[in-house]
Structure 1
C-alpha cells in the first residue's frame, strides 16, 4: 500500500545578530525571564564535547555554503544545530544515525540532552549584552503527537508547543509563526514562512530564534571612519566606510601565520567575542575555506596573544536566506527528507519526513560600543616587545562570534563585499 505523504517541516533557524548597536544595553528589553532547563546531569566535559560537535558542523556547513558562491555569508550554526537536535529527538534507526553523524553528536546520549540545556541556560543568562535563544513547536491541532516527545523538547530545549490548523487556516498559521519570529528577533526577521510552504499535509513546524546585541569593549571613533577601497578580488575594488582603531589602548588578542592574520575583539562583558580570520592575500579566502577545520581553528586560537594592533575594518550590514535541505542531504542525512524517514519518536509511526529547512539571518556591524577594562583570556600572554601590528581588513575575510565559556560558535560568516 502506498504510504500517504505527511510533511514534517523544519524551520531550522531565524536569527538576527545586531553586533554593534547605537543604544546601550537595557535589561528590560529581554522580556520574560528564561525558565531554566534541566541541566543538572551535564558535566564540563559533556558540554565541551557538544560544543566541539557543533563547531565541527559549523565549519563543514560553511564549506558547503561557500561552494561556488561569491556572496556574503552569514548564519548561526548553533541555531541550526539546536533545531536539528530537536528533530533528532524524534528520529529512529538510520534516520537518527545519519543526523547524529552529520551533527557530530557525542556518543553518550544521556549527556547530550542536559548538555544542550546547559548551553542554552548559559546563553540566556542576563549579562552586559543581549543574547537570547528561543525554541517553539507549531503542531497540527488534534494530530496524535507523543507526549514524551513534546516533554523532552520542553525539558531540555525550552520548546513550547502551540496548536495550529494548517489544513483549514493556513494563512492564520503562517501569520502566527511569523509574528513569533518577528517578536523574538526584534522585528529584524519578517515573513520567514511563506503561505506556499504550508500544505494540508503539514503536521509540524519547528522554529529556533537567536538574537544578539552587544557593544565592543573598545569602540571605533566615528570621526575616523572614512571611505576606502575594499578589494573584492585582485583587480576589482569598491568604496566602503572603513572604521579605524589604533593607539596605546588598542590592545587585542592577535595571531599571525604564514597565510593569515587573526584578531579577537571582545564585546562588553567579555563573554562573547568576534574572531576575524584575514587571509594575507586578497584572493586567499578560497584557500582558507578549503583548509579550515576544527583542528586548524583551535591551533589559531591557541596562538592568540595580546598585542597593540592598528585596525581597519569595514562597516557592513546584510541579510541572508538559505534553503538548507539540499546541503544537509549532501552532508550525510538524506533519509530524513524521504518517505523512508523514521520519525516514529514523534508520533509512534513512520509517517513523517522533513519537507524543508529554511534559515534567514541579519547582521550589522558599525563603530559603536562601550569602553571597559580589557582582560586577557586564559593562556594568552603579552609579547615582550610592544611592536604595533596591523590588521587592515580591506579584502574578503571570515569571521565568527563565539561564546567564551563553552567555546560554542554562535554565528559565522564571510564578508566578500561589504557594499552589497
Structure 2
C-alpha cells in the first residue's frame, strides 16, 4: 500500500469517526486513535544500538528549559533559512530539528572557542543542559510517534513521527568514554564501529542505507561520492520521518488547475486544492496565516501568506518573536482555503553557511573537539555537514523526511613541497618550556660561514 493509499484510507476512517461523533450543531470532537509506539527496531549487529532506540536518560529539564530549546532552535532555523534563501531564490525545505540534533551531538565534544562559537551560532542557550533537553524533546516526539487506525482487518498508519540518531566511529580510535556516554544517554546513539581507513566508500554506502531505512527510502545518497575519506574519523547522523493525514482532508474532486505567480512574476499552472473549513487563522498587518492540523491535533502545518509585494520584506523580518507571536494570534475562524499540491527535495552542504553564521573554527585545523577523545589528541575538525530533505503535500496529508550527517576528520599536519634555505635567514635557540630566547642570529652569507678545517 503506497503513501497516498495509506493517507486516503486513514483519512476516510477519520472522517467517518468524526461524523459519528459530531453533535447536532455540527461541532467535531477529536478523533480517537490507538497510539502505539513503533517497535520496529532492527539492529545491524548484536553489539550496536537498535535503530530508533530512545535515549536512556530520565527527563531532567523543566518546561521553561524546553521552551528555551524550542526558541533557540527556531531562531537558528530562521537565521539559516534567511542565509540560504539569500544565496538561492528557489524553493527550500529544511529540518532545523535534524540539523540541531546532529550538531548538538558534535557540540558535546567541543571545547574552548570552538564550543563558544557553536553555542552562539546554533543558539544553544542552555549550555550542557542542551543534551538532556534534546533527550526530553525526543521523548515527547516518541510519545507521538505512531497512531494507528483499523480499517476492516488492516491497521493503517494515520500518523507517523520517527526520529533516530547514530554514531559511526573509526574502529580503534580513542573516543572518550565520557563523550560516548553523553550521546548514549541523551541521544540513544551508541557507537557503531566503521573502517573508514580501509573502506571509506563501503562505509559511506552503509551510512546511506541506514538513512534510507530510517526515512522510508525518501532520503537516499545523503553522503555523496568522496564525502568519506581515509581521514574520516567520525560521522554523526540524525534522521526524521513524518507522515500524517490532515484532520480535515481536501476532496480531490474540488482540486482544479490554477495559476501560481512565482516570486519573479512568472506564472505556471498547478493543481490547487480547496475546501471550506473552520481552522485557526490570523489576520496580520502584512500577511495572513492559517493552521492546518493533522490527525491527532498535536502536530500542525502553519501557512503564512504575505500580502502581494510583501513576501521578501516579511520573510527577511520574520524573527522568533514574530513567528511565535503569529502562533499566539491564531484563533478559530471560517473561510475557504485554496492551496497548491507540491513535492520537492532540498539538498545542501552547510559548512560555508555555518561558518558565515558564526562558527568557522569548527571547520578548520584550529578546531577543538578534545572532549571526544581520550588523552591529549585534539586534531578533530568538521569536514562537512550534509543535509537532505523531502516533502510532499496533497489532498490526503503530508509526508516529510530529513537527514543530517556531520562528517569529522582528523586534520593533517601542514605540508610543504620543499623549503630551501638558500638565501639569508634568521634563527634562534629557545628554551621551550619558558620560551626564553637563549641565542638569536642570522646567516646572510653561508659561504663565509663554512668550517675551513
**TM-score normalized by the length of structure 2:** 0.74
Offset from partner CA, 1:368-400 (integer Å, 9 cap, x none)? 159xxxxxxxxxxxxxxxxxxxxxxxxxxxxxx
**Is 1:355 paired with 2:383?**
yes
The 3 A distance-change label for structure 1 pair 141 and 366 is same
Partner of 1:254: 281
Partner of 2:179: 149
Partner of 2:94: 75
Q: What is the CA-CA distance between 1:236 and the residue it aligns to?
A: 1.8
344-353 or 34-43, which moves further after superposition?
Answer: 34-43
Q: How does 1:253-332 map to 2 (within 5 A)?
A: 253-281=280-308, 283-332=309-358
Contact persistence 1:253–1:306 (CA under 8 A): yes
Consecutive aligned runs of 4 or more in structure 1 exceeding 4 Å deviation: 25-30
Contact persistence 1:37–1:121 (CA under 8 A): no
Partner of 2:251: 221
Contact persistence 1:336–1:354 (CA under 8 A): yes
Contact persistence 1:324–1:357 (CA under 8 A): yes
Q: What is the CA-CA distance between 1:112 and the residue it aligns to?
A: 2.3
Q: What is the CA-CA distance between 1:22 and the residue it aligns to?
A: 4.2
Partner of 2:103: 84
Distance 1:214 1:153 in 2: 29
**Is 1:186 paired with 2:216?**
yes
Q: What is the CA-CA distance between 1:307 and the residue it aligns to?
A: 0.3
Partner of 1:10: none
Contact persistence 1:30–1:130 (CA under 8 A): no
Q: Secondary structure at the match of 1:83?
A: helix
The 3 A distance-change label for structure 1 pair 263 and 329 is same
The 3 A distance-change label for structure 1 pair 90 and 293 is same
Partner of 2:10: 24
Q: What is the CA-CA distance between 1:145 and the residue it aligns to?
A: 0.9
Contact persistence 1:21–1:366 (CA under 8 A): no
Q: How does 1:191-206 map to 2 (within 5 A)?
A: 191-206=221-236
Distance 1:108 1:170 in 2: 34
Q: How does 1:32-181 map to 2 (within 5 A)?
A: 32=41, 34-107=53-126, 109=128, 111-125=129-143, 126-128=145-147, 129-181=159-211
Partner of 2:268: 238
Q: What is the CA-CA distance between 1:89 and the residue it aligns to?
A: 0.2
Larger Rg: 2
Q: What is the CA-CA distance between 1:34 and the residue it aligns to?
A: 4.3
Q: What is the CA-CA distance between 1:285 and the residue it aligns to?
A: 2.1
Distance 1:312 1:112 in 2: 40
